[in-house]
Structure 1
């Protein structure tokens, strides 16, 4: 990432470190030589102090004095020559001190053959830079009040060599330190920016409404405090969005329910108007016939009255079913779940319907099933079975056989009602459960069906959250429903 905080953090610190090292290297180049020269000047001056102290105390002939000067010459690369008032050598360093005798004599007599630059002057001494041929030296000479003369010299080139070596060494160390420090800073910045990247990941998840990711830092610093606050914000947002979604879902449900109610109301009015139109017309027609006395014989009057009563009964039956369906669909009819024997319920109904099946010359088959206890509303379950059995009786044809089955599964019992006869067209199967839908309207009218029975089945089974359905066979149709087995 081009603008990542980790990269910026590392580059800033690497840049600061490299800049600091470069500044040190630059300062060495510019000022280290002068610093060395000042240091050498101070060292030479200290050696001068030792010579003067030895001259004042008349100890320059002792071994301690020689040993002290030898140490100075060896450590600081200084050449020293000392003579008394009679020009006798009192000390000449082993690294060429005797060669300075001629130069000291020329200086004492005021003869300066070389190019010089005076650095410091004092009572009885002078410190100067001397250019002799291609060589440059830092020198100090003078004569003390006791008559002792001295000269000290150190090559400037050795100072320059030391500065050059020091600068090269610092450059190498600087490069190595920059590379090593860069790697360390990169690793440290990675550790520091890791929780920030984790927070960025969490915030990105929150943008997409994913609140599962949580900050898990344990450094107990400001970033962890920010992470804890983001976790709290995540929980708060998740709760708020959940509440909003719940409210929105309820609103959508209410809207859909209202639309469904409006649609059902329109459909109900249209279907009821259509279903009631025929029986009302028949009742009106036959009532007018009776009123006008079209047929005066008792048999005709009885026939007219039977038609009127039959149509009125059909209308009353349809209205009762519509009221039942209305209560089921709008949740006004409470489902009372009970434990009961479905085998006994089915067998009792089949026995009570024996007269109806004999009148229609229908044979009913049901095996001797053992008691099977299920959970459900017994009254509503009986209404479902009654609708299935009534449909089977009204549509039974061919061999005119009805078969009742109880199929036990792991946790359910499937009750089936099969009747021989014509199968239901495939395109009509999904619509069987709609109110007032009739596959064969003429036949339904013939046996007084209203097209509401299977809608009641659907509403009852939905209220108990159980499955139901219909299947075509080669020789008939099977309607089934399932109940939870105890």
Structure 2
């Protein structure tokens, strides 16, 4: 499987294509050289001989058959074309011939054969077109170009030029070149294989990196990056892949965060729904008792079964229970209004110390009934704050009421006000049991009560502190609750007095 993968890789394909291309190219070059080069050379040399012969013939005619001029031209022609030349007149008499460069039996024999051939065909040859052929010497085994060129004057052949030029040097050169090409072919093939390996690796290596990164991205692993810095298309693709990886990583992170938030919201919603069911059960229980009392005492009054002070007591019970139900309804309306997000505060300057003392005085009977030691620590008189007086009174009332409920008989409650440059800190601490750490952040939630029992004596519906939280958030207050050595402390801050121009 691994070998198959290698053969299917782009690097292997590039290597095979490159090697095949160079093998075909070198083989074609070698075949062309072996097959056509000699023919090309023969044709080229033939054309050159014919061209030079035409020039010589022109000089021959123009010279008026001047013997010395013709001999010099003839010698120059033979030397420049490596040829033997004989000029024969119409009477078959050799007018001009010259031997330069030493004897050459091979050319002389071929030249004699050409003359004999002409003598045989002369009577039947009326054209002035040259006769060209290649003759091979039977003894020396050399090839020679032979040209028999009749020169006609007024359509009559006056002279005949015989030219013989050896092809032996090109034959030897072609043979040597063929041997050289075999060595060159072998060396080039080795070099091409090495270059192809390097080239295919250069191309396939970044592609392997890209593929590896893409595979990791498919497995949702966006940590791997393509470390390809080239400025070509592969480098651009690597940069695009890295950009895509970062975007997908961010999107996946956001999706995970959204999923976590959704799970938290679902859990919170379930918790709220649970508390709502508990609240309905609590409210049903709390309303059932006063309704039953009101109904029972009301029927007693209707039937006139009581008189005098007993009748007044019946009326007191009915009124008290009706007030408790009214408070529950008002708390629910307040919380609904604060939860709507459309509630607007009505802030003003007022003395927070006076408000705190007035609330404490209002609860003096409840404090006295439980023989609570109520202490106040106010930094100085007439501490001015800027807030919604009605809502802050509601905050202090709910916190103090909660403190009284959870303070044992003969216990202590301490209220204090301290000032800083820009804010005022209000603290109310009651002696009593601590709130469990796992519950301390939940006391602000709607419908929540630390005491799960439905004891009417404890009172409350778990709405007071939820209302406090909403009011303090609207005031942008810093607030909280914490356990102390002796009990529990509630605290919150308010902004100091605001000048009229502000």
Matching residue within 42, 48, 51 for 2:47? 42
Cα deviation for residue 324 of structure 1 reads 1.0
Task: Render the CA deviation track for 1:132-162: whole Å, top value 9, x for unaligned.
Answer: 3463212315486556664422224524624
Matching residue within 71, 92, 99 for 2:99? 92
| Alpha-carbon distance between aligned partners in 1 of 2:490 and 2:460, rounded to the nearest angstrom | 17
Shift in alpha-carbon separation, 1:82–1:271, aligned structure 2, 3 A: same
| Alpha-carbon distance between aligned partners in 2 of 1:9 and 1:405, rounded to the nearest angstrom | 85
Cα deviation for residue 477 of structure 1 reads 0.5
Name the structure 2 match of 1:387: 398
Aligned 1:313-392 pairs, distance under 5 A: 313-331=323-341, 334-336=343-345, 338=347, 344-354=351-361, 356-357=363-364, 359=368, 360-368=371-379, 377-392=388-403
Q: Quick check: 1:405–1:417 contact (8 Å CA) kept in 2? A: no
Q: Quick check: 2:110–2:135 contact (8 Å CA) kept in 1? A: no
Name the structure 2 match of 1:230: none
Task: Render the CA deviation track for 1:30-81: whole Å, top value 9, x for unaligned.
Answer: 32221111112222223433443344342563276156415623xxxx2324
The DSSP-based 3-state class of the residue aligned with 2:164 is strand
Q: Quick check: 1:100–1:151 contact (8 Å CA) kept in 2? A: no
| Alpha-carbon distance between aligned partners in 1 of 2:349 and 2:472, rounded to the nearest angstrom | 17
Name the structure 2 match of 1:282: 293
Q: Quick check: 2:38–2:170 contact (8 Å CA) kept in 1? A: no
Structure 1 runs not aligned, ≥5 long: 113-120, 212-241
Q: How many matched pairs?
A: 431
Cα deviation for residue 310 of structure 1 reads 1.9
Q: What do you get for the CA RMSD once the two structures are aligned?
A: 5.4
Cα deviation for residue 383 of structure 1 reads 1.9
TM-score w.r.t. the length of structure 1 is 0.66
The DSSP-based 3-state class of the residue aligned with 1:135 is coil
Cα deviation for residue 291 of structure 1 reads 4.1
Name the structure 2 match of 1:299: 309
Shift in alpha-carbon separation, 1:307–1:106, aligned structure 2, 3 A: closer
Shift in alpha-carbon separation, 1:388–1:278, aligned structure 2, 3 A: same
- Whether 1:69 and 2:102 are equivalent positions in the alignment is no
| Alpha-carbon distance between aligned partners in 1 of 2:116 and 2:452, rounded to the nearest angstrom | 151
Shift in alpha-carbon separation, 1:199–1:164, aligned structure 2, 3 A: farther
- Whether 1:154 and 2:160 are equivalent positions in the alignment is no
- Whether 1:128 and 2:134 are equivalent positions in the alignment is yes
Structure 2 runs not aligned, ≥5 long: 120-126, 151-156, 208-229
The DSSP-based 3-state class of the residue aligned with 2:134 is strand
Q: Quick check: 2:481–2:491 contact (8 Å CA) kept in 1? A: yes
Matching residue within 193, 203, 224 for 2:233? 193
Matching residue within 130, 134, 137 for 2:143? 137
| Alpha-carbon distance between aligned partners in 2 of 1:93 and 1:317, rounded to the nearest angstrom | 144
| Alpha-carbon distance between aligned partners in 2 of 1:198 and 1:191, rounded to the nearest angstrom | 10
Matching residue within 470, 474, 484 for 2:485? 474
| Alpha-carbon distance between aligned partners in 1 of 2:269 and 2:445, rounded to the nearest angstrom | 19
Shift in alpha-carbon separation, 1:466–1:101, aligned structure 2, 3 A: same
Name the structure 1 match of 2:427: 416
TM-score w.r.t. the length of structure 2 is 0.64
Cα deviation for residue 478 of structure 1 reads 0.8
Cα deviation for residue 127 of structure 1 reads 2.6
The DSSP-based 3-state class of the residue aligned with 2:68 is coil
| Alpha-carbon distance between aligned partners in 2 of 1:127 and 1:448, rounded to the nearest angstrom | 135
Q: Quick check: 2:353–2:378 contact (8 Å CA) kept in 1? A: no
Task: Render the CA deviation track for 1:232-260: whole Å, top value 9, x for unaligned.
Answer: xxxxxxxxxx9xxx9xxxx99x9999999
